[in-house]
Homo-oligomer: A and B are copies of this chain.
Amino acid sequence: MKTYRFNNSQSLFTRAAKVIPCGIYGHLSPAPLVPPTAYPFYAVRAKGSRFCDVDGNEFIDYMCAYGPMIVGYNHEEVDAAAMKQYEAANCVTAPTPVMVELAEYLVDLIPIADWAFFAKNGGDVTSYALMVARAATGRKKILMVSGGYHGVAPWAQVPGHHGVMDDDYKNCIRVKWNDYAAFERAVNENPGEIAGFIATPYHHPTFADNELPAKGYWQKIEAVCRKEGIVLIVDDVRCGFRLDMRGSHEYFGFKPDLICFCKAIGNGYPISALVGTDSLKSIVSRIFYTGSYWFSAAPMAAAITTLKELKRINGPKLIRETGEKLLGGLVEIAKGYGYDLKVTGHPSMPYLRITNDESVMLHQDWCGECTKRGAYFVSHHNWFISTAHTDEDIQKTWDIADDAFKAVKNSRGV
């Protein structure tokens, strides 16, 4: 099987590094890609489940822009809705009626939601959820999960990182995921001081196996939150609309007070949302929270169309089944080469790791070999499955994976 070259990506990156810190920063940075020479750095076209890079290579994309893409790149109906709204009015001095329609749609769709609030970044609404929890309870402290990701605001950063002060996270108490005893202990050690608990529906850290909630974990957490008046916040930025159209809490059977959405909600058009229960509506009304582009109408039109399309085709069921089929095949192919490909997390957002090598260098090699052959995924982050991934994509990915395992085996001899 032919492998791709990335000459144009690399020379463009050299140009970029002169005028952009890191060349490419943040979650798209090539830094964790091993080896970086196995990956394209710049896209020029995207359609359905695939994108093309600046070297003319085509990839089946299992990162889906790290989550925003869910019904396929350049989805006709979603784009048509957005373009129609752009042509009429987008970012204007007043909002447009589509803002009301989207809020009504979310309140209808999500059982716990009595209201919706819109922003741009996922981090806008996770940070806002903390402010709401603090304002509602008059308490300062926030419980959160060690290694959980809630954006890049200083409170959400890894303590000790550059630019982050102790004061930024001194009111954030981190407990281990799935460790109900640790959660209970933290609550007992801070009586009447915990404003909120924020966590993703299941634990999907980078560079580590993902973990679904233990049986009863969320239900016990919910019971304590109710008893202690702690605002229960789900960060559904990554999972939202991939596990369950009604919010991922429905999938795991519990009820939060606030849910943060972003990514898949608008299929890449920039919008995030905080939804919540009636009891928090008036306190939300009293916090001044806004942004220059938050009332823009085109992303709202895109979100309505994305959500309706996902509902129409039962998107969460579809991508779960696609994920299960794809992953089942990959695990079998790996076995044929003597490799144990471990899949964790939900099949629609799987985290993969070849366990034969504790250092993950083997797994990194395999990911790079797959990407060089046209199936793009990274070694350190969960994948995203979309409704645009086809049986043809799966078959081609299996072929690529097979050839990549063979290449890894040949080069390592193990």
Contacts and interface: CB of A to CB of B under 8 A. Distances in A.
Interface string A35-68: 0000011111110000101100001010111111
Given A83-B83, A116-B20, A26 B294 contact: yes
A21 B95 contact: no
Contacts of A151: 291
B43 A92 contact: yes
A141 to B, nearest CB: 10
Contacts of A165: 134, 140, 171
Interface string A347-366: 00000000000000000000
Nearest to A299: B270
Interface in A257-279: 262-263, 268-270
Nearest to A158: B288
Interface stretch (A11-19, A210-218, A388-396): A11-19
A92 B65 contact: yes
Contact of A28 (B20, B74, B93, B154): B93
B291 A94 contact: no
A16 B262 contact: no
Given A40-B94, A284-B21, A163 B51 contact: no
A90 B268 contact: yes
Given A43-B93, A293-B268, A19 B167 contact: no
A307 to B, nearest CB: 15
A313 interface: no
